[in-house]
Amino acid sequence: MSGLPQPEWGLVTLNGVELDAPGRLTLNSWVLTDGAKRRRKNRTRPGVDGQKGSRGFKDPRDVTLEVFLDGRWDADGDPVNTAVHLATVAAVQSHILFLRTAILDDPGDAEGCVTCSVTTAVAGTTHDGPVQVDDLRADPGIGAQVVTFSLCILRGELAITAGSG
């Protein structure tokens, strides 16, 4: 897709929908591969220097995932006639409608989660896990625009399921 920003980190699939496809490009997939913050309760011991350590537990993590939409392709990945201005606007709107119905409107599993997968630039390395999709916002734009997903990674991080670097 000439003219689009190039992915810098990895390819994202959310609820079975490839976000890196003709007319769509994930701009910040690295937010999905960061590790989780650990919650601990270290205890001070009377009369002894330092603290007694405790096991850490992963906290849920909220992230914002940005996806660039290009009106030169519709939601099915077919090119549109860019000479017709309304065709590019309609193509962007078709992407937004498709992403909303296929991802945001899906109730998910018992925890309200859908599947998320990130295939990174490291050969054979994939991060997989459940995420909650809380919102989909579309910034103003004509012919091209950025939409943002508000996601909650319940387990704090996506598991590395293939490869090791």
Determine if the pTM surpasses 0.75.
yes
Q: Output the pLDDT for position 1.
A: 45
Q: Output the pLDDT for position 6.
A: 54
Contact 155, 58 (CB under 8 A): yes
Contact 151, 57 (CB under 8 A): no
Q: Output the pLDDT for position 69.
A: 93
Q: Output the pLDDT for position 7.
A: 53
Ranges of residues in the chain whose predicted pLDDT is under 50:
1, 165
Domain 10-35+57-162: which CATH number of 1.10.10, 2.30.30, 2.60.120, 2.40.30: 2.40.30
Q: Output the pLDDT for position 120.
A: 82
Amino acid, single-letter form, for residue 39: R
* Burial of 1 from C-beta contacts in 10 A (0-12 / 13-18 / 19+): middle
Residue for token digits 């295939």?
119
Query: What's the half-sphere exposure (Cβ side, CA atoms, 13 Å) at 131?
Result: 32
Q: Output the pLDDT for position 124.
A: 75
